Amino acid sequence: MTDTLYPGASELEGRAIREIVAVAMDAPAAANSGHSGTAMALAPLGVMLYSRLLRHDPTNAQWPDRDRFILSCGHASILQYGLAHTFGYDVSVDDLRQFRQAHSRTPGHPENGVTPTVEVTTGPLGQGVANGVGMALAERVLRAQFGDDLVSHRTWVIAGDGCLEEGVSHEAASLAGSLGLDRLTIFYDDNHITIDGPTELALRDDTAARFRAYGWQVIEVGERANDLNALEVAAREAMGDTTRPSLIIVRSHIGFPAREMMDRREAHGNPFSAPVITAAKAALGVKDEPFSFDDALPGALVTSLEYQRGERAAWESRVLEAGERGARLLEQLATNGAAKALGEAELFPPGSAVATRKALQRAMDTFAPLTPGLTAGSADLTDNTGVILKGGDPNGVGAPGGRQIHYGIREFAMSAILVGQALHGGVRPIGSTFFVFSDYAKPALRLAALSHAPALFVYTHDSVGVGEDGPTHQPVEHLMALRAVPRLHVVRPSDANETVELVRDLLRDPQMAPTALVLSRQDVDVFEESERLASLNGAPRGGYVVREDAAARFSLVASGSEVALCLRASNELARRGVATRVVALPCWRCFDEQSTDYREAVLRRDVPSVSIEAGATLGWYRYVDHAIGIDTFGMSAPGKFVFEYLGIVPETVVNYVVERLEESA
């Protein structure tokens, strides 16, 4: 019998859709918070994907060659949770009842690692689109590396009007079209409604024409959001194009089948009233009871996934039959593409002066060939930032396995794409740009930290030492802005050798934290041997004593290139008969994770202290008595002049210490 609400749905699919639509009303109503309308309208699409197309197995949720599904419009999270429960994943009715409650497995927006089926953390609109590009890119690199018998899956994304209004989706879609990422399909839920009202208030784009211009296949389904057969035909047409990504435009009606709320802005973010829910459930033909589920349905749906589960079993057999190649794939997936063993890079000679960004290139030259999962690139600054993979092909249609990624001038998309690659597994992504442009990337850095994505964000030209480019390109507040992000490791190495050694450690760490590596444009003094040994042992701990003196009357503290300034200041103070100690804090978060005894031994707060850093002083008073820094914008002038004009020189430290000692005397 034909399903009058959801044409083409099988009996099982119809039951699944109705349960999901019902819980999309019940859960927000119980929480008095949440978004019902979009989840209701997209339930047929979600069920079609999970039932007919998605390579997945609820009995093995982390099967490596599964298809990836991303709900970029993460406010509709109850859709994903309902799909997960109904299709037999480990999401219980009690979990659904706890929607948006403290410590639940069904948070307000999808969070990676919290709920089965959630591949990336979404919610801030548009980033899920870019995450999807990253996942498709990771799949392609791994497929070229290991063969399509071992790696052959697709990435599916559902995005809404808000996702496609956000600039990050434009950046990512343009790159995906340029790269020809053919195993990427985005469903655009064109429901014409935003929080403020009809999309036409602010959006009159020809989305189809825009994506065709990006190089995408565009399939327009029209008013058939409830027709599972029409949705499947469109999806299979997308799968048949092996040269480019696909956008499927679906005109849905938010809130369907709740007639009182359908196509209204209130359906976006307001829980539905009890009378509206009652009427909608009558239209659905389901019980007018909250959280009413058929206990037999998940098992029946799992059984119906015979083909998909067979795909998983066949893949496992192929991995075993592949022998050493299969073992390498499994190891690379398990270690997030980390290096298994790394040698030693040639050291920079003591007393020389080398920009830490140039040291990064030496690390790349030495360690990249030994890191099987490495992808590296920049936002159009590859030569400037030191992320050139020598002999590596640029990724593209003609080189699908190329590990050199040219992201173009798209800092935000690049960063969100790194997150997608990192959470896909099997790759160790590095992306780079000038430090001042971390402002463009900040939202993606935040989600990287929130989702524990093992990505390395490289930022060079880290201070007013940029010079003539002026205050528009001279970072001042950026270090403190990134240090404020929970879980993000912000690392500013003290010299060239420390840079190389820290990069080596990052590449071989299977559980690398999301890391921002902040490097200098200007040359920095290379440590003497005793200082290098202190760095070797202490830099991975985030802070260490570079130079100790039991009779020290002052501690001089810094990060990055300013550690060399402290050493010079220490030498001058010693010439004047003032003993000092020098401390480096390359990573505050790493240092804060050390034991109290270690931190106290490094800082020795019983000794007066002063810090110097070519950036904002905010935050330094956690570690020192006084902070010297830059709490204003820079200026357009040669870098040496700017440092001198703003007081980021050894003499400033020397004068401060002398004045304080004279005052205390």
Catalytic residues: 411
Q: Which of 81, 316, 35, 55 has its CA nearest to residue 185?
A: 55
Distance CA 266, CA 278 (A): 17
Element (H, E) at 457: strand 456-460
Is residue 20 within a helix (H) or strand (E), and if so which, with residue range? helix 11-31
Per the CB < 8 A criterion, the answer to whether 23 and 301 are in contact is: no
Chain-centre distance of CA 102, in angstroms? 24
The label of the residue with tokens 């899956």 reads: 153
Query: 């999901």: which residue's tokens?
Result: 20
Q: Which residues touch 22 (CB under 8 Å, ≥6 apart)?
A: 281, 284, 286, 292
DSSP state letters, 623-644: T-SEEE---S---SS-HHHHHH
- Find how far residue 291's CA is from the centre of its chain: 34
The C-alpha torsion from 83 through 86 and 91 to 94, rounded to 10°, is 120
Contact by Cβ (8 Å): 634, 600: no
Kind and range of the H or E element at 433? strand 428-434
- List all residues 6 or more positions away from 50 whose beta carbon is below 8 Å from its beta carbon: 56, 83, 87
Angle of helix 207-214 versus helix 167-179 axis, rounded to 10:
40
DSSP reduced 3-state for 160: strand
Q: What are phi and psi of 373, to 5 degrees?
A: -95, 5
Calpha distance 474→468 (Å, rounded): 9
**Residues with Cβ < 8 Å from 245, sequence gap 6 or more?**
136, 173, 176, 177, 180, 181, 182, 184, 185, 186, 216, 217
162 and 126 in contact (C-beta within 8 Å)? Answer: yes
Q: Do 427 and 371 meet the contact criterion of CB atoms below 8 Å apart? A: no
What is the side-by-side order of every strand in the sheet holding 246-250? 68-71, 155-160, 184-189, 246-250, 217-222
Strands of 533-625, DSSP E? 544-547, 554-558, 580-584, 609-612
Q: Helices marked H in 147-273 — which ranges?
A: 161-165, 167-179, 207-214, 228-240, 266-269
Amino acid, res. 7: P
**How far apart, in whole angstroms, are the C-alpha atoms of residue 542 and residue 588?**
6
Upper half-sphere CA count for residue 285 (Cβ side, 13 Å): 8
Q: Which residue do the tokens 């498709």 mark? A: 136
Q: Are strands 184-189 and 68-71 parallel, antiparallel or unpaired?
A: unpaired
Q: How far apart are CA 195 and CA 94, in angstroms?
A: 30
